[in-house]
A and B are shown apart, each in its own frame.
Chain A
Amino acid sequence: MSTETAAPVQMVNVQIDGVWLQFPKGTRVIEACRQAQKLIPHYCYHPKLSSPGNCRMCLVEMGMPKMTPDRNPVVGADGKPEIAWIPRAQISCAQDVSEGMGVRTNSPMVQECRKGVMEFLLINHPLDCPICDQAGECKLQEFSVEHGTAESRFLERKVKKPKSVELGPRVTLDAERCILCTRCIRFMKEVANDDVLGIVDRGTFNSISTHPDRILDHNYSLNTVDICPVGALTSSDFRFKMRVWFLKESATIDTNCGTGSNITVGSRENVIYRITPRDNEAVNGCWMPDSHRLNFKYVGSPERLKEPVIRPQLGEEGPTWQQAINLAVEAIKRNAGRVAIVASGRSTNEELFLVKRLATALGAKVDILPRSGVADGMLIAADRNPNTSGAKLLGVATGQFGEIVAGVKDGSITALIALGEDATKAGLSEEDLAKLDAVVATDILPNKTTAKADVLLPVSAPFEKRGSMINLKGRLQRLNRVVTAPGSARDDWEVLRDLILGITGSNGLHSVEEVFKAMAAETPALAGLTLSRIGDLGVDISLP
């Protein structure tokens, strides 16, 4: 609860299913019930959107304090006000709590109402659950089981509406499944500020449509798919790819920009199928941009680097990891004092910590490769590196990139370690790289730098490793492993640890937790934290 408001929050007494509880004034009844562990089924209500109250699923029995003729509450034998129950059910999503209010969430009348509402909602439903991508996480299915009846009494012909309509490049509409809750319309209007959706036709032929001249191509359009309680709006990308009950859902964070949106990744048998936003009020609420959530295909790309590679003249084909690491260490030692490290703002704190150690041991110049774009004023930050804050905190982002480039060009730097970044993107040409005595690169996909690398070590993509990152607002968040890396690719921190081991002799770190512990011991801003203490929602830290 915010403590900034000057006036103390006024609390009101509300009776929910016979229990008196206190809620801040202004709480919606449906929210109050949720806080009291009484879940009220609902379709149109969404905590982040306005409440039109059109699905009628959240009906509850309500009552107000019984008043004496002189407008004083009648107090019952237990010292609490007696409640005069309203004889018809009320929707709980559009009503705020008030003093002395009574709510019955599960009375026979409420149950009867829900049953009736469910029956009406399902009248024209095509019942094509077998092909519906929402099946398994569909609120119609869930509430039909909990509150509906097994049989339909509807004998007439169902209304036919368009199916498989492409509302935009990323969203497909099935109008038959739609229950007209208007969540998508309200999202586009209220959150995305792009009022492109609306209801057309009348009465039973009501259906969702885009503005005649427009398509639903907003970069946040896939959030309508998330909030659609039924299978009306589905993701064209995820369409018919995998049933949701097969998906293993792993909590991690988005690494496409400095916002660090919290995400849930659905994967099955080591293949990522979809990414959905994960609620975190401190970071992204419950939304995320389409461009970020669809950017996972590269993880399963057949081009992924799977085995360590060394330049042919250095040794035989197919070196083992140990041979490759030994060669890298040898090349770095040979050029001691003339080494530069191109680190990455996409690395985790643990990796950056080890990069710093490596740079210190070698006396090398180090900097991260900047990566910037255009901020959209919502959830996409201009800094497209997810961990610039961490790099700054750990002393890897030094602003020396210009010196590194100059050093390479004038020959004072003869060896380059590129950690997951393409050095040609920051002022170095391929000829410059060819001129160097040694290039050691780690990466997940081939690029111009990896093509020039003397030793190329395959590492893990963001979905394949564990670690922590700090977003631009200074929130330390955790990255989790969703799938395993292909081939014999290793975690970046393991590669860095082995390089340091080869150069300095010892370090004694055996797990990513130990790396974090060592990092927390040396970094005041992280003092007292461990990887597990970060939790799924992350913690705010004070950046210097």
Chain B
Amino acid sequence: MAYVVQRPELTFKEKAYLPSILNGLKITFGHFKKMIKGETKVTMQYPEEKWDSQLPEHYRGAPTLVKDEHDRERCVACQMCEFICPPRAITIKPEEIPSDNKFAKVEKRPREFEIDMIRCIYCGMCEEVCPEQAIYLRKDYAINGLTRAEMVHNKAKLYELGGVFAGLVHKWNPEK
């Protein structure tokens, strides 16, 4: 049901605008004064002040590839991340590991693994979907480059960013 909202009755002072305007000017001047005197707390001044040391453990920075403690590429090019990636930033070209390789038993590895950091939205779906715990979102957030090509992280770059991650998956260990 429709009902009528009674507009507030304005006094003459309020109707005259000017006193209210002066009041407003007073408020803004108060802020101005506090800012000038340095009493206002302002945001972090980025390049000089950084929050890096306080980034939480679960911070989602740039996705990277990791190797295990035996220097094996954890990624087996299952392409699940390529499948799940919402902005389709990931492109994987798989290949077979040659039989003379130390890790020939793993059979498959990425020949090329590219993440287009212009497309990446840092959602972490790749990390979540990875069955091999090979892709991790690390704490790098300042990803930049002068060309589009520079913004595509290739396999070497991803391993360089990711480094070694000793941990759980022992599936490819022949003893297991």
Contact = CB atoms under 8 A, between A and B. Distances in A.
Within the complex, are A and B direct neighbours (CB within 8 Å)? yes
Given A240-B94, A240-B95, A131 B108 contact: yes
Nearest to B99: A164
A298 interface: no
Contact of A163 (B77, B94, B107): B107
B154 interface: no
A141 to B, nearest CB: 12
B108 A246 contact: no
Interface of B: 76-80, 82-83, 94-96, 99, 105-108, 131-132, 171, 174
Contacts of B77: 131, 240
A129 interface: yes
Nearest to A245: B83
A153 interface: no
A344 to B, nearest CB: 36
Contact of B107 (A135, A164, A242, A246): A164
B171 A241 contact: no
B73 to A, nearest CB: 12
A246 B83 CA distance: 8
Contacts of A378: none
A163 B172 CA distance: 13
A245 B108 CA distance: 18
B96 A240 contact: yes
Interface string A123-136: 00001111100010
Contacts of B105: 163
Interface string A222-263: 000000000000000001111101100000000000000000
Given A129-B78, A130-B132, A240-B95, 15 more contacts: A127-B171, A131-B76, A160-B174, A163-B105, A163-B107, A164-B107, A239-B96, A240-B96, A240-B107, A240-B108, A242-B79, A243-B79, A243-B83, A246-B79, A246-B83
A129 B96 contact: no
Nearest to A164: B107
A241 B94 contact: yes
Interface of A: 127-131, 135, 160, 163-164, 239-243, 245-246
Contacts of A242: 79
A129 B130 CA distance: 12
Contacts of A160: 174
Contacts of B79: 242-243, 246
Contact of A129 (B95, B106, B131, B174): B131
A461 to B, nearest CB: 24
Nearest to B96: A240
A242 B94 CA distance: 8
A130 B95 contact: no
B107 A131 contact: yes
Contacts of A246: 79, 82-83
A240 B111 CA distance: 11
A160 B83 CA distance: 31
A246 B94 CA distance: 14
B96 A128 contact: no
B175 to A, nearest CB: 9
Contacts, number: 39
Contacts of A127: 171
A127 B176 CA distance: 12
A171 B90 CA distance: 30
19 contacts: A127-B171, A129-B78, A130-B80, A130-B132, A131-B78, A160-B174, A163-B105, A164-B107, A239-B96, A240-B94, A240-B95, A240-B107, A240-B108, A241-B94, A242-B79, A243-B78, A243-B83, A246-B79, A246-B82
A131 B131 CA distance: 10
A160 B171 CA distance: 13
A246 B91 CA distance: 12
A130 to B, nearest CB: 3
Nearest to A240: B94
A130 B78 contact: yes
The 7 closest A-B pairs by CB, nearest first: A130-B78, A131-B108, A243-B79, A131-B76, A240-B94, A130-B131, A130-B76
Given A240-B108, A245-B83, A128 B95 contact: no
A239 B171 CA distance: 21
A88 B76 CA distance: 43
A128 B82 CA distance: 18
A299 to B, nearest CB: 19
A248 to B, nearest CB: 14
Contacts of B107: 128, 131, 163-164, 240
Contacts of A245: 83
Contacts of A243: 78-79, 83
Contacts of B82: 246
A243 B131 CA distance: 15
Contacts of B132: 130
B149 to A, nearest CB: 20
Nearest to A131: B108
A85 B14 CA distance: 91
Given A164-B107, A246-B79, A128 B171 contact: yes
Contact of A131 (B99, B106, B174): B106
A164 B96 CA distance: 10
A302 B132 CA distance: 36
A164 B104 CA distance: 10
A136 to B, nearest CB: 9
A135 B80 CA distance: 11
A20 B79 CA distance: 47
A119 B119 CA distance: 42
Contacts of A135: 78
B23 to A, nearest CB: 65
A484 to B, nearest CB: 20
A160 to B, nearest CB: 8
A149 to B, nearest CB: 19
Contacts of B80: 130
Nearest to A239: B96
Contacts of A241: 94
A122 to B, nearest CB: 14
Contacts of A131: 76-78, 106-108
A129 B83 CA distance: 15
Contacts of A240: 77, 94-96, 107-108
A232 to B, nearest CB: 14
